[in-house]
Chain A
Amino acid sequence: AQKVTQAQTEISVVEKEDVTLDCVYETRDTTYYLFWYKQPPSGELVFLIRRNSFDEQNEISGRYSWNFQKSTSSFNFTITASQVVDSAVYFCALSEGYSSASKIIFGSGTRLSIRP
């Protein structure tokens, strides 16, 4: 069965520090997809990134980077030079299988607070 673990419930750092949010997943499928979503204090959920299981290349988007390691079943998210606007709850998610009706599950989220 699928499982997503975000062991860090809350993280608090000072602005300009780098911070890494951990995501560990479990799946028996060889084809699966990993996602990160952001939920700022306003409440809406915003898609950040999607990665499939055949693409282990790390991705960088501005101050955001993602490290996908199949060997450790992890898909960690790093924010470099954090800013107050990065304060949010971040969710990692996993879907598996080829079917467009495959089920997705979310981790319980990590609440990130950036202090000025």
Chain B
Amino acid sequence: DAGITQSPRHKVTETGTPVTLRCHQTENHRYMYWYRQDPGHGLRLIHYSYGVKDTDKGEVSDGYSVSRSKTEDFLLTLESATSSQTSVYFCAISERGQNYEQYFGPGTRLTVT
């Protein structure tokens, strides 16, 4: 199994509060991704990174920011959480980009009340 961990695994927070989710990999893969999974929508890409300090937006990036200061860590921040951001968040890694297989972390279930 690819070495990917996500923290926290579960979080309940209130509307308007900032939240940061962390993805940590031990595979030294260049590419890292954040997705959200919602019923009826499959997985939707939020942001991705193609190297340290190199990030780009995905399909549903509004309300989210990311940072990658080290190869192994990719942080997803909700600056001011809203109820529409209640979701399961998955981190993924890939050695060669989105045209190649991705390996996923265990997910973080976030509830915004």
Contact = CB atoms under 8 A, between A and B. Distances in A.
Interface residues of A, number: 27
Contact of B45 (A45, A105, A107): A105
A110 to B, nearest CB: 10
A115 B41 CA distance: 25
B60 to A, nearest CB: 11
Interface residues of B, number: 26
B34 interface: no
Contacts, number: 62
Interface in B95-109: 96-104, 106-107
A45 B100 CA distance: 15
A100 to B, nearest CB: 3
A108 B42 contact: yes
Interface of B: 31, 40-45, 48, 50, 56, 58-59, 88, 90, 92, 96-104, 106-107
